[in-house]
Structure 1
Amino acid sequence: MKGFIQTLKNIWSLKELREKILFTLGMILVYRFATFISLPAINLSEVGDLLENYKNQGGNNQGAGLLGLLSSFTGGAFANASIMALGIMPYISASIIVQLMGMAIPYLQKLQKDGESGRNTLNQITRWLTIAVCLVQAPSYLTSITTMFLPYAQFSQAYYVEPNSIMFWLPSIVILVAGSVFAMWLGEKITDKGIGNGISILIMVGILAGLPQAFVQEYVTQTGAGGAGAIMILIEILFWMFVVLLAIILSVAVRKIPIQYVSRAQARGGVNKNLMQGARQWIPLKVNAAGVMPIIFAQALMFVPGLLTKVDDSNTFFAGFQNVFSWQYNVLFGLLIIIFTFFYTAITIPVNQMADDLKRNGGLIPKIRPGKETADYLDDILSKITLPGSIFLAIFAVLPALVYGWLVETQNFALFFGGTSLLIMVGVTLDTVQQINTYLLNHHYDGLMQSKLSRTTNQS
């Protein structure tokens, strides 16, 4: 504990790092403040009451499930009809589109290889595409909140102007687009002048914003009449910490492929010597190279089966796809995640390029010939580690549905026991801690969670 406190003092003593952290916290505060500003045409107090009624009455068999899932990434702004209701998600969608198009469009492939100037052009393309995505999502969002409130008698009191008029639609769409662009700008400023990846941090903040309320609801339910008591809360916390540990393992697990640099080895008199002391002598292939992208892709497609209910609302099987905690939803969800994990890993890990780079730099994998044989070997290893990684990721994604009912009593709290939310929180935290460690180690300080490791190394 003393070492951790000393590390915090070291962080505060570095002026540059301190200013970056304070700037990041300031931008987060601005973002959170903006999420509580409602659209000018919306009566926020009435909207809150209508949303609460919607959740309490089941929300078309979704309850807090699908609505909570969409709202969690915006810190509640989606459910509060805020100017930041679309949040940073249009930018994420645009980034995914540009990344996938880069696999097929030669012009984008060229930009990816042009260094800093190419990245700047790609960023500009992503920004313009973000606005296009917003222009599609904003009307869809306004349509969803207006149709959602139609069954309630106080529907007309939720708006200051007629919801079907141009005075409602035009200003609301412009403000929603501006709010999303503002969130994108905040994220980029955090990346440039703050600490960590700004876009990812804003998503994590939106997710964490709902954690205290979800925990309080779970505590009240468990300690109230019919609940299991405070001991169950303790069990839930311990299990959640175990799940977080598994998420960390999934995020950092790699398969190390040893490599040798033949030309440098021969210069020292033998290919079996370990040269370049302190340099990385292996290729790290991540067990979960796709990250959370397969879950995001799968969630985007999971809205399609739910539309089948509108065709035949008497079919209970199709109706299950509207509930994110049903077995129908989660079986299909898990299968899609496994498929997308293989797909995304295949298009983002260029084994042929890796093999060519090794050959060009005089590197080789022991007992494997350079060139095509090396590419085939890397592809085979990648396929073998991706299978268990994809299964683990699928289990992680459906874990909220597994714990809901037998361990966790409230849906909002169950969503934090896995899925995209927890993986994003763990991934962003690890990335931010790594950046802080870099600053500390450059100034000859032990990094966060590095003190014990350093002492153990010195003793050995």
Structure 2
Amino acid sequence: MASVAESIRNIWKIHELRQRILYTLGLLVVYRLGSYVTLPGVDAIALQELANANPNQGGLFGLFDLFVGGAFFRAGVFALGIMPYITASIIIQLLGAVWAPIQKLQREGEDGRRKITQWTRYGTIGITALQSIGYAINLQATSGQAIVIPEWAFTVVCVICLTAGTTFVMWLGERITEKGIGNGISLVIMIGIIAFLPQSLLNELPQIGGVGRADTNIFIFLIEIAALFIVTAGVVFVTQGTRRIPVQYAKRVVGRKQFGGTTQYLPLRVNAAGVMPIIFAQSIMFIPSTIASFFQESTFWQTVGTATGDIFGFWYSAIFFVICVFFTYFYTAIAVNPQEMADTMKRQGGFIPGVRPGRQTSEFIDTILTRITLPGALFIGFVAILPAIAAQFGVQQGFAQFFGGTSLLILVGVTLDTLQQIESHLLMRHYDGFMKTGRVRGRRR
């Protein structure tokens, strides 16, 4: 604890890092306050009374509500949160694998990335407009008494306000990434999830003074906490797990100095995709329910929406597992380029012992990356469906969502990424990081 306290004091000694953290916290507070602003035309009191009369609002919409910090069921202007931006990013990246113009932009460096980002923003606005229509239809069907303006007017209001709200949240995330600390988009999702944690934990406690669960005891609760700790430790272990490939650099003499002749290591992560596959997979799972909201009278779409809307059901878990595994491989293929690694090593005079430079090195790296990604992808897929398994053992659905699944993976992944950035700032100024005996991924001695 003393070393952690010392690291926290060191953070506040660095002016730039202190400003970045305060800037990030300030924008996250703005986001949380905005999630309580209700859409025009909605009676917030009547909506709350309907929510109190039906406290078991769950399913896929309940999970969506978790990601946006409760704004979905409160009919807030941030009801759709940042998820349309994630969906637009998925579409652009999928197109980048098959469409030549985007592939060309990806090779153009910073200018190409700026254009791709701009296209993603435009896509976000279009997706938000479509989803806001579905949201308006769903809200009118489930909470019609709380809407005090005509249906057509409410639909128009939803499209305008929700599109503006998501655009503002997207802007907040980009500002955090640029001027704050951590990945802004991921932090926006994480702060919404954390907002539910205290109440979910309180509801899972054994009943004390009329608060908590009456059908459990302290022993069962401690077992649940221990299991949660083990799962969290496993997620951290896999997230930071790497396979180190030895790279030998040839000796070079420049003037009177000798360079190279040393062995370094190329670290390949077991889960090189990080937290993005789980976010992408979750966005895909929202699509059937969104389409079903447009076709209220279609038996087929209502059946599909019901099957994929039960986050604790078999079909949802099975499809979610497969999509998580697929996107882990897909995003790894985008994020890690074996050919580029091989070319860089060749230019710097490096080679993997026993492997010829160039194409064979690229194939060697690609083979190892494919092999180590498999256990990582299967583990991520298993953790993604753990809430459904936990619910089968009697854990309440609210707390079960933190038992694994998207919530835990996002919390762990975003926390490690943010700590890594803070650690980098500390080490650049010759301060010790958060851990002296261990290290946050990315720290090098």
| CA distance in 2: counterparts of 1:16 and 1:442, whole angstroms | 12
Contact 1:24 1:194 in 2 (8 A): yes
- Deviation per CA, 1:64-90: give whole Å up to 9, x if none: 232221111111111111001111111
SS class of match (1:102): helix
| CA distance in 2: counterparts of 1:180 and 1:203, whole angstroms | 12
Number of the residue aligned with 1:137: 131
| CA distance in 2: counterparts of 1:127 and 1:312, whole angstroms | 32
Contact 2:60 2:286 in 1 (8 A): no
SS class of match (1:259): strand
Q: Work out whether 1:429 is the aligned partner of 2:412.
A: no
Q: Work out whether 1:104 is the aligned partner of 2:92.
A: no
Which one of 299, 308, 312 corresponds to residue 311 of structure 1?
299
Number of the residue aligned with 1:340: 327
Contact 2:140 2:147 in 1 (8 A): no
Report 1:398-409 matches (<5 A): 398-406=385-393, 408=395
Q: Say if 1:118 and 1:221 are closer, same or farther in 2 by CA, change over 3 A.
A: farther
- Deviation per CA, 1:362-387: give whole Å up to 9, x if none: 32211011222222222221221122
| CA distance in 2: counterparts of 1:43 and 1:318, whole angstroms | 28
Gaps of 5+ in 2: 440-445
Q: Say if 1:210 and 1:340 are closer, same or farther in 2 by CA, change over 3 A.
A: same
Q: Say if 1:242 and 1:407 are closer, same or farther in 2 by CA, change over 3 A.
A: farther
Say how many residue pairs are matched: 432
Q: Work out whether 1:289 is the aligned partner of 2:272.
A: yes
Q: Say if 1:68 and 1:221 are closer, same or farther in 2 by CA, change over 3 A.
A: farther
Contact 1:262 1:362 in 2 (8 A): yes
SS class of match (2:76): coil
Report 1:8-157 matches (<5 A): 8-56=8-56, 63-149=57-143, 155-156=144-145
**TM-score (structure 2 length as normaliser):** 0.87
Q: Work out whether 1:243 is the aligned partner of 2:211.
A: no
What is the CA distance between 1:332 and its match in structure 2?
Answer: 3.3
Greater mean alpha carbon deviation, residues 293-302 or residues 176-185: 293-302
Q: Say if 1:14 and 1:298 are closer, same or farther in 2 by CA, change over 3 A.
A: closer
SS class of match (1:282): strand
SS class of match (2:41): coil
**Percent identity over the alignment?**
43
Contact 1:236 1:407 in 2 (8 A): no
What is the CA distance between 1:330 and its match in structure 2?
Answer: 1.7
Contact 2:10 2:426 in 1 (8 A): yes
What is the CA distance between 1:182 and its match in structure 2?
Answer: 0.7
Which one of 148, 154, 172 corresponds to residue 158 of structure 2?
172
What is the CA distance between 1:319 and its match in structure 2?
Answer: 5.9
Return the letter of the residue paired with 2:201.
F
Return the letter of the residue paired with 1:90.
P
What is the CA distance between 1:256 and its match in structure 2?
Answer: 1.2
Return the letter of the residue paired with 1:8.
I
Q: Say if 1:313 and 1:123 are closer, same or farther in 2 by CA, change over 3 A.
A: closer
Q: Say if 1:84 and 1:104 are closer, same or farther in 2 by CA, change over 3 A.
A: same
- Deviation per CA, 1:25-71: give whole Å up to 9, x if none: 11111110000000011111222232344443xxxxxx523222111
Report 1:162-311 matches (<5 A): 162=150, 164-165=151-152, 167-219=153-205, 226-262=214-250, 264=252, 273-274=261-262, 281-302=264-285, 311=299
Return the letter of the residue paired with 2:343.
D
Once superposed, what is the RMSD of the aligned Cα atoms?
3.1
Return the letter of the residue paired with 1:250.
V
- Deviation per CA, 1:209-251: give whole Å up to 9, x if none: 1111111221256976742212322322222222211111121
| CA distance in 2: counterparts of 1:311 and 1:353, whole angstroms | 50
SS class of match (1:81): coil
**TM-score (structure 1 length as normaliser):** 0.85
| CA distance in 1: counterparts of 2:254 and 2:352, whole angstroms | 16
What is the CA distance between 1:400 and its match in structure 2?
Answer: 0.8
What is the CA distance between 1:174 and its match in structure 2?
Answer: 0.6
Return the letter of the residue paired with 1:254.
T
- Deviation per CA, 1:128-156: give whole Å up to 9, x if none: 2211121111111111222233xxxxx33
Number of the residue aligned with 1:7: 7
Return the letter of the residue paired with 2:155.
W
Q: Say if 1:336 and 1:452 are closer, same or farther in 2 by CA, change over 3 A.
A: closer
Contact 2:275 2:414 in 1 (8 A): no
Q: Work out whether 1:353 is the aligned partner of 2:340.
A: yes
| CA distance in 2: counterparts of 1:297 and 1:434, whole angstroms | 23
Q: Work out whether 1:384 is the aligned partner of 2:371.
A: yes
| CA distance in 1: counterparts of 2:285 and 2:124, whole angstroms | 22
Greater mean alpha carbon deviation, residues 41-50 or residues 109-118: 109-118
Contact 2:342 2:358 in 1 (8 A): yes
